[in-house]
Amino acid sequence: MIRIRPSLILALLIAAALCVIAVQLHRVKAARLQHESVAGILDQLHRDAERVLELRAKRDLVAWRERPTTDVLALVNAALIDAGIPADRLQGIGEGVDTAVASPQGAEPALRRQSLAISLERLTPVQIGRFLERWESVQDQWSSGRLELTHRRDQNESELYDLRLHISAVYLART
């Protein structure tokens, strides 16, 4: 009959327990890393959602002044320079439209909106983001509206887009 020593049994039990503990510690570490990753994503989503709500709540600025006379071309060029985008990417600025803003029935409209469209070509998504960020910082009267992106299909320009940015300024018309 083979006799197993109690110290050997104890050593085997301790080794098995240490293996179980090591496996569980590895699982806990992996779960903690996954938790931190998901928590980071959740924080970013929270910040993004707050930014979306902030942008949705943004309203046109009403200036207690005449129709905007600021040179939009100069503002666009300043934003392009600040964003590090060559000035030749500017295709043009569309003709301005000046319309009355709807008012209560029977009242003469006191607010007016001037709208323009800025056309830029051959921009990367990063350049578009930088331009929009700089545009908001170089001026305080024009509100960005609709963005139209057209993906370029040329083989050597597959990463580039054309941008048409619609802007408007609301102002109080003198009566």
Express each pLDDT in 11-59 by its tens digit.
989 999 999 999 999 999 999 999 999 999 999 999 988 888 887 776 5
Domain ranges within the chain, ordered by starting residue: 1-58, 62-172
Confidence (pLDDT) at 14: 93
Chain segment 127-164, per-residue pLDDT in tens:
999 999 999 888 878 888 889 999 888 777 778 999 99
Angle between helices 72-83 and 125-138 (to 10 degrees): 130
pLDDT greater than 80 at residue 66? no
Confidence (pLDDT) at 105: 65
Confidence (pLDDT) at 161: 92
Q: 101, 109 in Cβ contact below 8 A?
A: yes
pLDDT greater than 90 at residue 72? no
DSSP 39: H
Structure token digits, residue 77: 């060029």
Q: 0.85 exceeded by the pTM?
A: no
Q: Which residues contact 12 (CB under 8 A, 6 or more apart)?
A: none
Tell me the mean pLDDT in the region 85-108.
80
CATH class for the domain made up of 62-172: alpha beta
**Beta-strand relationship, 143-151 and 111-123:** unpaired
- Separation between Cα atoms, residue 149 and residue 132, nearest integer Å: 13
- Higher-pLDDT residue of 100, 50: 50
